[in-house]
Structure 1
Amino acid sequence: MTQEASENKGTIRVVQLYPRDMNIYGDWGNALVLKRRIAWHGYTPELLEYNVGDDFPEDVDVIVGGGGQDSGQLVIQADLLSRGSTLQELAEDGTPMLLICGMYQLFGRFFKTRTGSVIPGIGVLDVETHGTDERLIGNVKVESEEFGEILGYENHSGQTTLGPGIRALGTTAKGTGNNSSDGQEGARYKNIVASYLHGSLLPKNPAIADFLISTAVERKYGSFTAGAPDDRFAVLAREHAGRRPR
């Protein structure tokens, strides 16, 4: 079994946004995977939480945000808007980020509920989301040129469309993704990976986890030297997830 490297190559700080209110369908697992894989690669992980009213951490290397109910989005809305300029600066500077479901929506321009209420986003991503009566739910398989086959689970009624300044994470081979019409899933901008896929996402998709880690390390230390992560369980999880029906 792969052991964590004895040599410490440096510290990587992972900040989880609003885990108290935006943590559904196992999204906490994404932060735990990053913590484990950072250590496997020989670096020291520092996992921090940011919730409503906290002081925003300094020296951020990776940002992770999960999904939540509409009620959770309303709880964090004002605080997120107050941190919008900070998060925009980090994004434009190339900070790697993983944004899942509700956080994906709120990093866009707005979320318009099916009743017509508008929840403004912070505009990091050129996307907009409209709530509908249609529930997009089930297992998803995405084909990505960058990360290969991505596996996960979606459960959302918001339908997201991408603007011209952003590209999709991939195309859906099984499932729906961003909306029920264009066959696209998620979004890529700078070093941001945004997706509707829960499950949680990273345990079954270590290529995305290692992209976030290697990018963070290269930005902080100039180069990345990979360790030897133990991917046995990730391989098994992918095999099982790939066989599941929609």
Structure 2
Amino acid sequence: MSDDSSVLRIVWIYPDLLSTYGDQGNALILRRRAEQRGIRTEVVYVYSSDPVPVEGDIYLLGGGEDRPQNLAAERLRSDGGLKRATERGAAVLAVCAGYQIIGESFGDDDDNPLPGVGILDIRSGRGETRAVGEIVAEVAPEVGGGTITGFENHQGRTALGPSARPLSRTLLGIGNDGSTEGAYQGNVLGTYLHGPALPRNPALADLLLSIRVGQLDPLPASWGERLHEERIAAVM
């Protein structure tokens, strides 16, 4: 965890630019599942006018429209704090626009390539059609296995470079390209899943926590697990 080893620091990056689809719920569920295990947490909101602290444990980025996405990428590149944090071993979950901008490059609204933050070996552009609807995918076994569910609304298509691996195999929906969904590289995870992703997928929330905390005590099944199963049953 952070230098104050008794507190898990969850950093929500640019809620003023990257929070179109309620992805703040990812921060709330991480905090909840940590505190249910007796882990003290602090949620740090970093706005686009603020420097990104490097002492965090888990960094979260959400979705956004084209222009806020471009601005967020520019500011994160010039700031450098997120990249330094990952070099220290912090975990990252980036969703949709956030997923694209942490890569090597992404497309603007005319599909011209723009430079990303460069912490995930992916390159994103615009597809011919928009991906909208429920998505279900099978997580790579080496990541932890299991099925994830969410909602996608994007025109992006993402290609993985040799240093990144697919987070999951698409069962329903588009994700990266109709075959895979998301990517991971070390402690950095990216996905197109909204919903938000972590309230819909408690096991994925626990995976992020375990990166910084280590092995977690199991929790009794609750509404999160029920929601997860209900959404899969509704579309499969």
Both structures adopt the same fold (TM-score exceeding 0.5)? yes
Cα shift readout 1:51-86 (whole Å, capped 9, x = no counterpart): 1121333521111111111122123232111123x3
Q: Which residue of 1 aligns with 2:82?
A: 87
Q: 5+ residue gaps in structure 1? A: 1-8, 219-223
Q: After TM superposition, give the deviation of residue 160 of structure 1 in Å.
A: 0.5
Q: What's the counterpart of residue 207 of structure 1?
A: 203
- TM-score, scaled to structure 2: 0.90
Structure 1 residues 86-111: Cα deviation after superposition (integer angstroms, max 9, x where no partner): 32232233211111011110001111
**CA drift at 1:151:** 0.8
The answer (yes or no) to whether the contact 1:40–1:227 under 8 Å persists in 2 is no
Q: Distance in 2 between matches of 1:174 and 1:116?
A: 26
TM-score, normalised to structure 1's length? 0.87
Counterpart residue number, 1:53 = 49
| Counterpart check, 1:66 vs 2:56 | no
Distance in 1 between residues matched to 2:209 and 2:13, nearest whole Å: 17
Residue 118 of structure 2 corresponds to residue 123 of structure 1: yes
Name the Cα RMSD after superposition: 1.8
Aligned to 1:23: 19
> Could you tell me how far apart the structure 1 residues matched to 2:220 and 2:98 are?
29
Aligned to 1:6: none
Give percent identity, aligned residues only: 35
State the 1:19 CA deviation: 1.1
Structure 2: any 5+ residue segments left out of the alignment? none
Aligned-pair distance for 1:175? Answer: 1.0
Aligned to 1:231: 221
Between Structure 1 and Structure 2, how many residues are aligned?
229
Counterpart of 2:193 (choices 173, 193, 197) is 197
* Residues 147 and 207 in structure 1, CA contact (< 8 A), matched pair in contact too: no
Larger radius of gyration: 1
Note the C-alpha offset of 1:230.
4.7
1:137 maps to which of 121, 125, 132: 132
Q: Which amino acid letter does the alignment assign opposite residue 97 of structure 1?
A: V
Amino acid at match of 1:231: A
Q: Which amino acid aligns with 1:175?
A: G
